[in-house]
Structure 1
Amino acid sequence: MQIDPNSKDIFIEKNFFSQDIPIEERTSVFNNLFFHYKKDWQSSFALMLILSVGIASLGLSEDSSATIIGAMIIAPLGQPIVAFGGAIALGWKLQSFRMLGIITLGTISSILMAYIIGFTLPEITPNQQILIRTSPDLRDLGIALLAGAGGAYGYYRSEYSTVLAGVAIAVALVPPLCSIGLMLEQGHFILAGGSFLLFITNFIGITFSSLLIFFLLGLRQKRNRKWFYTGTILIVIFGSTIIVPLALNYKKFNSSAQFQSSVYEKARIVFERSKNSPAIKHLSIQGTGVIITIEPFPSDKVEEQRLKIELERTTGLQVFLQNSNRQ
């Protein structure tokens, strides 16, 4: 169903876009962005979300990048985030909260579905596809900002709509949420927290760049600018809270050798103080997880769990212990 933004029978401002934009383009952009005005949008959105979460969860469990890319392309969460930025640019407080509600519901549902899927899968040892989504840094924020700008322009100019698939791949939204659900089901809370930080980073980056692009393109009202300024300030303030953890992760990336040496030394001290004093044979850090191969391996499950808890407290990373004799 096509909606004319100048129609008087819906709650839309007559001048919701700059008047130097032709009415046909205004109507087209409006219908592409604010999909919740279309009939039966809920069933389509729910179906695509369920499919994308299922594909991404299975892809993560088997460490398949191709499968995860497929889930990124069909995931529907990117559109309401871009629309959220557009609503702020237009100064629509009500529409902003409606979009935020859809995003929140989709986020919680995705995590819950992935958590349930985790029950049906064998125990998942965090693999590369999971671990790389647990330690975002400033580069990820930069990617989200640039990709969000590309996505917003793609919705605005129909001839560039083909870029939307590329944006979906560049800024993963559903895979981090699936990683959260799977890791929560496995009890790996540090990894789940890292994936949540990645999702929030992408959400903030897309929202901010979308509202900025739409505002610069003239998709703004000539009055009621209060919510535009308020919403933009809130996004900036909220975004500033993630700068510190992203910067710390970026610092770790730039000094990876020193960071690995630091983790190795902390782990060595813990092992020296433990029963049988296991020796570290190999240590590998990916994301917020560290895989430590030791010998001898604790024969007591209680001691093994105690070691993991102590190592996680000392290093701040999710710890996985391996027996060198089983490699």
Structure 2
Amino acid sequence: MLSGILGRVLPASQVRTSDELVQSLDLSAGDSRAKRSAFWTMLALSAVIAVGGVLTDSTATVIGAMIIAPLSTPIMAIALGIVRQRPTDAVRTTVLGCLLVIGVGLVVSAVVPSGYDLLKNSQVTGRTSPGIMDLVSALATGAAGAVALARRDVAAVLPGVAIAISLVPPLVVAGVCLGRGALWLAAGASVLFLSNLFALVFAGMVLFAAAGHGTPPKDRRERPARRARRVLGLLFVIVLVPLAAHTAATLLLTVWTERAEAAAERWISRQPHASVSRVYTASRTVHIEVRSRDAPPPVDPLLADLRGRVPGRLAVVVETTRGERVDAGAIGGS
């Protein structure tokens, strides 16, 4: 059954030969000088475009950087090299490319105004909090890219794959965050990039092997290939752990915020002409924004209602449309 499905996904009449794939992905094959010149030129330009799009919070500009970024080429070459058990400099090219993009972000971060708030930029926050679904999407995108490369008749989907798999933008964000001293944000963006990279390599290995590009195991070649697969699997698990932990933390935070919102609604219902406009949690603090013509009611009943529903170490802050701010303190008391 599996072979029948693979036969439909990768029909023999449309599958590219190994030589064709090598010419497309290996920068050292054919006219290597021209290939490398084009790769580094387009990667540098895409990094500049990406950092401009990130800092101006422009989704359209970031998408433009994704389309022209050629970083997926050496990454897929890594997958093909593992499957074919042939040495390649794709790993070196990928590492140097990553350092170039991060460097662009670092350099540009030096001219960012000191009061610039990274957490108010959706391009930054959207790439510093990866979760399990990001990995699932990356796997599906990597599979789509591998199919498009392995088949002659679906190459038109590659621009869409470039948009869906985020490679250059998270590296730029990591560079900018490093330059601003936001190490945790930089780590989050780096994890997102690594999860996308490993997903691309993993999906590429599976599809390229299914397309028949693997080399039959032969004595000395077999052991390095197995070692490479094991290392890749280990790295994949290393990336999966923080993604799973962050996903679990995000789900818990959502539950706690919903409980806090329900408690805030019960609390404010005692006061006429007052309502809760927004509840959100940030930096271990539950922020409750209230619409009211008068001062808010005492917060002690609110804290009492929250105890046992959300962690006691969280603090509560009430903000009103009158410009008042009430720091209610920790829910568990002190």
Matches within 5 A, 1:240-255: 240-255=237-252
- In the aligned structure 1, how far is the partner of 2:147 from the partner of 2:68? 19
Equivalent residue for 2:25, pick from 27, 33, 49: 33
- In the aligned structure 1, how far is the partner of 2:281 from the partner of 2:227? 41
Instruction: Give CA deviations for 1:53-105 in whole Å, capped at 9, x if unaligned.
Output: 1111011111111111111111111111111011001112x21xx11111110
Contact 1:283 1:290 in 2 (8 A): no
Please tell me the residue identity of whatever aligns with 2:110.
F
- In the aligned structure 2, how far is the partner of 1:161 from the partner of 1:291? 49
1:146 aligns with 2:140: yes
Note the C-alpha offset of 1:146: 1.2
- The 1:262–1:179 alpha-carbon spacing in structure 2 relative to 1, beyond 3 Å, is farther
Note the C-alpha offset of 1:258: 3.3
- In the aligned structure 1, how far is the partner of 2:188 from the partner of 2:126? 10
Partner of 2:202: 208
Instruction: Give CA deviations for 1:110-163 in whole Å, capped at 9, x if unaligned.
Output: 101111012233343221111010111111111111111111121111211111
Give the stretch that moved more between structures: 44-53 or 28-37: 28-37
Please tell me the residue identity of whatever aligns with 2:239.
I
Partner of 1:51: 45
Contact 1:131 1:289 in 2 (8 A): no
Partner of 1:11: none
Contact 2:128 2:185 in 1 (8 A): yes
SS at 1:252's partner residue?
helix
TM-score by length of 2: 0.70
Please tell me the residue identity of whatever aligns with 1:230.
R
Instruction: Give CA deviations for 1:6-47 in whole Å, capped at 9, x if unaligned.
Output: xxxxxxxxxxxxxx9999833322211213323322221111
Contact 2:15 2:211 in 1 (8 A): no
Contact 2:27 2:36 in 1 (8 A): no
The structure whose Rg is larger is 2
- In the aligned structure 1, how far is the partner of 2:215 from the partner of 2:234? 23
- In the aligned structure 2, how far is the partner of 1:249 from the partner of 1:198? 11
1:237 aligns with 2:229: no
1:115 aligns with 2:112: no
TM-score by length of 1: 0.71
Partner of 1:226: 223
Partner of 2:190: 196
Equivalent residue for 1:67, pick from 55, 58, 61: 61
Matches within 5 A, 1:1-327: 25-37=17-29, 38-40=31-33, 41-92=35-86, 94-95=87-88, 98-123=89-114, 124-126=116-118, 127-222=121-216, 223=218, 224-260=221-257, 284=280
- The 1:186–1:216 alpha-carbon spacing in structure 2 relative to 1, beyond 3 Å, is same
Note the C-alpha offset of 1:238: 1.1
The structure, 1 or 2, with the larger RCO (C-alpha pairs under 8 Å, 6+ apart) is 1
After TM superposition, the runs of 4+ consecutive aligned structure 1 residues lying more than 4 A away are: 20-24, 259-264, 281-286, 288-294
Contact 1:208 1:232 in 2 (8 A): no
SS at 1:241's partner residue?
helix
Contact 1:144 1:171 in 2 (8 A): yes
- The 1:103–1:112 alpha-carbon spacing in structure 2 relative to 1, beyond 3 Å, is same
- In the aligned structure 2, how far is the partner of 1:117 from the partner of 1:79? 26
The percentage of counterpart residues that share the same residue type is 29
Unaligned runs of 5+ in 2: 1-11, 262-276, 290-312, 315-321, 324-334
Note the C-alpha offset of 1:169: 1.0
Partner of 2:305: none
Contact 1:55 1:70 in 2 (8 A): yes
SS at 1:218's partner residue?
coil
Partner of 1:298: none
Note the C-alpha offset of 1:261: 7.8
- In the aligned structure 1, how far is the partner of 2:79 from the partner of 2:18? 16
Contact 2:142 2:204 in 1 (8 A): yes
Note the C-alpha offset of 1:109: 1.1
- In the aligned structure 2, how far is the partner of 1:135 from the partner of 1:67? 21
The CA RMSD measured in Å over matched residues stands at 3.2
| Alignment coverage as a number of residue pairs | 260
Unaligned runs of 5+ in 1: 1-19, 265-280, 295-313, 316-323
